[in-house]
Amino acid sequence: MELAISIFTAISNLVLGLFTYLKNPKSATHQLLAFLAAQISIWSILNYISLHAPTEASTLFWIRVDMLPGAPMGPTLYLLANTFPGRKINISRSKLTAIIFFVLLTMLLAISPYMFTAAIFESSNIRAVPGPAIAVFMLNFIGFSLLTFIKLVSRLKKSFGLELAQIRYLLFGIISTFTLITTTDLLGVVLLKSSFFVPLGPLYSLLLIGSISYSIVKHRFLDIRLVVARTVAYTLLVLIVGFVYGLGVFAIGKFITGQQAAINDVVISTALALVMAISFQRLRLFLERLTDKIFYKESYDTNNVLGELSKVMAATLHLDNLTHSILEILVSQLRLSKAAFILFDDHHISSVKSEGFASTPDLDESEVDFLSQTRDALVFEDLDESPQKAILRRLNLSAAIHLRSEGVQIGLLVLGEKQSGDPYSHQDLQLLEIFAPEAAVAIQNSESYEEIRRFNITLQEEVERATSDLQSANEKLKILDKAKDEFLSLASHELRTPMTAIKSYVWMVLNGKAGVQNPTSQKYLQLVFDSTQRLINLVNDMLDISRIESGKVQLRLEPFAVSDLMYQVMEEFKARAADKKITLALDPIQPLPSLTADRDKVLQVLENLVGNALKFTPSEGKITLTVARKENFIEFSVNDTGKGIAEADFPKLFTKFERGAPLTTLSEPGTGLGLYLCKQYVQLHKGTINVKSKVDQGSTFSFTLPLG
Amino acid sequence: MEDKTKILVVEDDQALRDLYVIILQDAGFAVDQAADGEEAYELLKKGGYDLVLLDIVLPKLDGIHLLENLHQSPPSLPNKKIVVLSNLGHDEIIGNAISLGASGYLIKSDYTPDQIVTRVREFLNDK
């Protein structure tokens, strides 16, 4: 039984130490743990041998040797407590040298006669007689155990969450193991002078192994979940092999070959070893699968998660959706308590997107700067005491991953502890390392997109606002326009009514309906009549212009004979021309195609031009009307022998209320609107109107209208 | 005198109403007159006029509404022709009047009394 305990302890410790070391040979924590495991392993074997040595002399020798691995145990534990879970031994070089020297001294004393002077057999008890040097060993062992204890307790106070739990288990294992070993193997031997409890010593180390294992299984301590899994598998394997081997030897020896069959034993052992060798691989795989099932329940496939993340990053442009989806995947797949993106904009925090946080993590900008300074990702357990670690502790965060795109830090991905309380595994960190740069680019793209989108929204709002402004302005203008139309309509109506009465009654008098008037009255009344007619014309012109300028004039196009129109004009003005002794002539008209135009408007233009010519041509003058085809146009001309117009005044002729300066001196006034109206009507027909004139040589007004 | 051509002058402005009545009577027509829309409507419902000179801007009932009423319920004895004689030159109103059955639309200020008589004769002769 003692042998079984010793072998089990030794193998378990050895395998645990070896795998821990191989997992991360560069980390001091791993190295120290492996070293400690090796010491315990060796010690447990030596312990057994020392208790079962054949002679008194050899017992003393083995007891002394057994003390050797005990010498570095306390210091190693102390170093581990200082270092854990870092990668470098966190102690000054001089201190380390002193510790090594002290360990070597203890070891030297251990094999000297000064530590144990003798071993005495007392019935079933072996009593080792301690010498004066045992004090050094006790100082070493108890002293470093106490220092370890103090160190861990002080660290315990500063820790939280995961680290706290890990240190707690470590502390429990160390305290219980070393207290028991100290009590039974050292105090028992020295004070009670009994080695009765010594065989139990190695069993206590199982408490340390157990608590560390529990810490690993529960909290993935040092990321050696795999180590534990393998250790258990191999220990079971060895036990099974041993059992089968032993049973085989026992059974065959007892029932077939007898007790002295030593050669047969060797043959059978070899055969069994071969069977073991053949079955080993299958058995190992089976056990591995079994243990993996227990220890890897919460695992995920890195490639699957990365694929899922890539899909989201490729398919999502909206920043809120993108960050939300990424955080959701990370939290659910890596089983995190919480995660958040802290995004910067030129060293200022632009936005925080969180998942699983009770309240948004509140970092100030100096803290963000501190976290951004480091090159690598920040993992709480791996950090030495530093401002960064203090910030993570304050926010209860376990990790901060840099998001960098083209060398520019665009934000941080901060993560809370895992739901299980485990530390971040190598797999977790590897995944985050691969994923972070991709996320940085995706977020940056998304931010650009957001910016464009916001700009577009602003632009759209501006356009909508401008449009609605324009619409309301347009509505107002329409109302104003209608009001103006109505006003003009009614105002002209009100003006025309009394003017019609004046004009009509004056006409009655002029035409003898009120008896014969004397020539002077007749002359004066004629002036009243003419003036009234001018007023009426003025109102009509203003109404026409208002209609043209508001675009309300619509041409009533219909084909008509141009010659008929010319005869009508001649007929209308015949009497007035004769009154002024002016010759009104129409040049012979060549055969013309019928013209498609608004006949009333064309007539109005001709009336206007002939009316003007009559006004500004003195007695004995001549007015000649001409109409002829010019290519695809019909050209109408009105030529007079009046005073003519200075060329400088040409441009003013066809504008509103403008007339050439020489004309203003003439006795016959006009409204000044006539030529402007003519030009508008001609242009509505897509024709042109022109004037040719020389002072004292008369004028020619002509306009063209298109035929087709 | 029963076969005299019957003309109704609808005009609110007394000076013009008197003028049109005088010149048309002088021209040999039998002339009735109305100074507002309602009075005109009462006469027009009875019907039988050869020609009506209808103003648009009228008290009580304007010319357009009057035309609408007649258009909707024509009198049993019809009025042969209704010619609008108004100083309102609004295109929209001219269009309305024509579509409601007016035979013509004359702007008062464009005509001297003799021209009015000439146009009236033209409308009467123009079947």
B110 class by beta-carbon count within 10 Å (0-12 exposed, 13-18 middle, 19+ buried):
middle
> How far is residue A392's CA from residue A641's CA, in Å, rounded to a whole number?
106
Residue A663 pLDDT: 47
Residue A555 pLDDT: 83
> How far is residue A103's CA from residue A69's CA, in Å, rounded to a whole number?
10
Any CB–CB contact under 8 A between A304 and chain B? Answer: no
> How far is residue A149's CA from residue A175's CA, in Å, rounded to a whole number?
7
Residue A231 pLDDT: 64
> pLDDT at residue B85 above 90?
yes
Half-sphere exposure of A383 (CA within 13 A, CB side): 24
Give residue-wise pLDDT tens across range A418-474: 877 777 877 888 888 888 988 999 998 888 888 898 899 999 999 999 999 999 999
A254 or A331: which leads in pLDDT = A331
Q: Which of A649, A648, A673 is nearest to A660 (CA)?
A: A649
A80 and A33 in contact (C-beta within 8 Å)? Answer: yes
Residue A689's beta-bridge partner residues?
A703
Domain B6-125: assigned CATH number: 3.40.50.2300
Tell me the chain B residues in contact with residue A499 when contact means C-beta distances shorter than 8 Å. 109
Residue A34 pLDDT: 81
> pLDDT at residue A664 above 50?
no
> pLDDT at residue A314 above 70?
yes
A425 or A576: which leads in pLDDT = A576
Taking the CA atoms of residue A162, residue A165, residue A166 and residue A167 in that order, the dihedral angle to the nearest 10 degrees is: 120
pTM to 2 decimals? 0.46
Domain A302-454 has CATH 3.30.450.40: yes
Q: Which of A409, A400, A404 is nearest to A346 (CA)?
A: A409
Q: What is the mean pLDDT of chain A?
A: 80
> pLDDT at residue B118 above 80?
yes
A454 or A280: which leads in pLDDT = A454
Give residue-wise pLDDT tens across range B32-56: 999 998 999 999 888 889 999 999 9
Mean pLDDT within A405-409: 83
Any CB–CB contact under 8 A between A484 and chain B? Answer: no
> pLDDT at residue B1 above 50?
no
Mutating which of A493, A550, A601 best tests the B interface, going by the most B Cβ atoms within 10 A?
A493
Mean pLDDT within A579-603: 89
Cβ within 8 Å, pair A504-B16 = yes
> pLDDT at residue B113 above 80?
yes
Tell me the chain A residues in contact with residue B19 when contact means C-beta distances shorter than 8 Å. 501, 504-505, 508
Residue A470 pLDDT: 92
> pLDDT at residue A662 above 60?
no
Q: How far is A501 from chain B (nearest CA, A)?
A: 6
Residue A459 pLDDT: 92
Mean pLDDT within A638-646: 88
Q: Residue A116: which pLDDT band, with cuts at 50, 70 and 90?
A: confident
Residue A360 pLDDT: 77
What are A635-638's contacts with CB under 8 Å, separation 24+? A635/A702, A635/A703, A635/A704, A636/A602, A636/A605, A636/A606, A636/A702, A636/A703, A636/A704, A636/A705, A637/A700, A637/A701, A637/A702, A638/A606, A638/A609, A638/A610, A638/A613, A638/A700, A638/A701, A638/A702
B87 → closest Cβ in A497, A505, A508:
A497
Range in A234-238, A333-337, A614-618 the model is least confident about: A234-238
**ipTM of the prediction:** 0.90
Any CB–CB contact under 8 A between A497 and chain B? Answer: yes
Q: How far is B76 from chain A (nearest CA, A)?
A: 34
Highest mean pLDDT among A59-68, A240-249, A651-660: A59-68
Mean pLDDT within A324-350: 87
Residues 6+ apart with CB under 8 A from A141: A70, A73, A74, A178, A182, A186
Domain range annotation of chain A: 2-223, 225-297, 302-454, 558-706
Mutating which of B18, B24, B109 best tests the A interface, going by the most A Cβ atoms within 10 A?
B109
- CATH homologous superfamily, domain A2-223: Rhodopsin 7-helix transmembrane proteins (1.20.1070.10)
Tell me the chain A residues in contact with residue B107 when contact means C-beta distances shorter than 8 Å. 496
Residue B83 pLDDT: 92
For residue A484 the two structure tokens come to: 């103006």
Give residue-wise pLDDT tens across range A478-515: 888 888 888 888 888 889 999 999 999 999 999 988 88
Topology of domain A558-706, per CATH? Heat Shock Protein 90 (3.30.565)
